[in-house]
Amino acid sequence: MSVLQDPLARALSLPIWSGQATAVALGGGITNLNVLVTDAKRRAVVRIGDDIPVHQIMRFNELAASCAAHAAGVSPAVIHHEPGALVIDFVEGRTMTAEDLRQQDLLEQALAIVMHAHRDIPRHLRGPALCFWVFQVLRDYAATLSDGSSRHLPLLQGLMDEAAMLESAVGRIELVFGHNDLLPANFLHDGRRMWLIDWDYAGWNSPLFDLGGLAANNELDAAQEGWLLTAYYGQPPDADLWRRFRAMKAAAALREAMWSMVQEIHSGLDFDYAAYTADYLETYRAALAAFRTSQ
């Protein structure tokens, strides 16, 4: 296996290590290959991966967002980058789970760092940055799945009709610089504070997408969602905000399901994407039902 094919060898080949360096694969990644390297001076995480056009991942954008997130105090430092590899300072901490983030104290910390990111990352962002509009992502995913003769083809027309309805319900938006991938595994806690990592999908977006993703990915209940909206906007949500939030929550769950459908036919990682797709389709259908009930 060549250096380019072996992520451990690729990570160790970077010209930044001091003394004898060792590398081990990190589990948990479902988009990229992540490697923990330890040398004489430090431990660092090497993210191996090129652009992924089927997911609209552009590494120049991830790099800019990662650097700005560190400057804003949200994410660990970028140590090195080159085509196909991004090296991030290692944070000794615990990866959050959905159960963790349903605990009020940890949910408060998670929301605080998301709000901090929305507010402060644009102050440090340099160069061009992408927009992440979930409904365009869904349309592109549908085309990718059609081109790839996905097993989910019979679902696509119905899902796209529902997405169009949700896009209309979201209506006009404000823009923030969003993370756009608020899975629990992208939150780390070092015992003192929360960190937000992995900026593959970062871009300008409605804050409702991150809030909806936080709710959908961590199975928050209605009371927690009400707290989330009140804390973010500084006042209890009215009927219009609830409607737009529930629409975006459903869209966030649908995006995760269709992301996994695309992974089923395009990813080479050892992960059960079929089961992940089924789980998120269930999450989406529950969120869609809640949106429709609230109308």
Q: What percent of the chain has pLDDT over 70?
A: 97
Q: Which domains does the chain have, with CATH numbers?
A: 7-89 (3.30.200.20), 94-293 (3.90.1200.10)
pLDDT classification of 30: cutoffs 50, 70, 90: low
Start-to-end CA distance of the chain, whole Å, equals 56
- DSSP class of 23: E
The Cα 176–Cα 150 span in angstroms is 34
pLDDT per residue as tens digits for the range 248-261: 999 999 999 999 99
The SS3 assignment for 127 reads coil
Task: Give me the amino acid identity at 54.
Answer: V
What mean pLDDT is predicted for residues 47-56?
93
Alpha carbons within 13 angstroms on the beta-carbon side of residue 230 total: 8
157 contacts: CB under 8 Å, gap ≥ 6: none
What mean pLDDT is reported for the chain? Answer: 94
pLDDT per residue as tens digits for the range 52-107: 999 999 999 999 999 999 999 999 999 999 999 999 999 999 999 999 999 999 99
pLDDT classification of 26: cutoffs 50, 70, 90: confident
DSSP letters spanning 173-242: ---EEE-----GGGEEE-SS-EEE---TT-EEE-HHHHHHHHHHHTT--HHHHHHHHHHHHSS---HHHH
pLDDT given at position 32: 76
Closest CA to 177 of 48, 74, 29, 254: 74
pLDDT given at position 27: 72
- DSSP class of 131: B
pLDDT per residue as tens digits for the range 177-235: 999 999 999 999 999 999 999 999 999 999 999 999 999 999 999 999 999 999 999 99
Q: Of how many residues is the chain composed?
A: 295
**pLDDT > 50? residue 143:** yes
What is the side-by-side order of every strand in the sheet holding 194-196? Answer: 94-95, 187-189, 194-196
- Cβ pair 17, 37 in contact under 8 A: yes
From residue 170, how far is each of 25, 173, 281 by CA, in Å?
40, 8, 20
pTM more than 0.95: no
pLDDT classification of 29: cutoffs 50, 70, 90: low
Structure-model confidence comparison of residues 294 and 156, the more confident one: 156
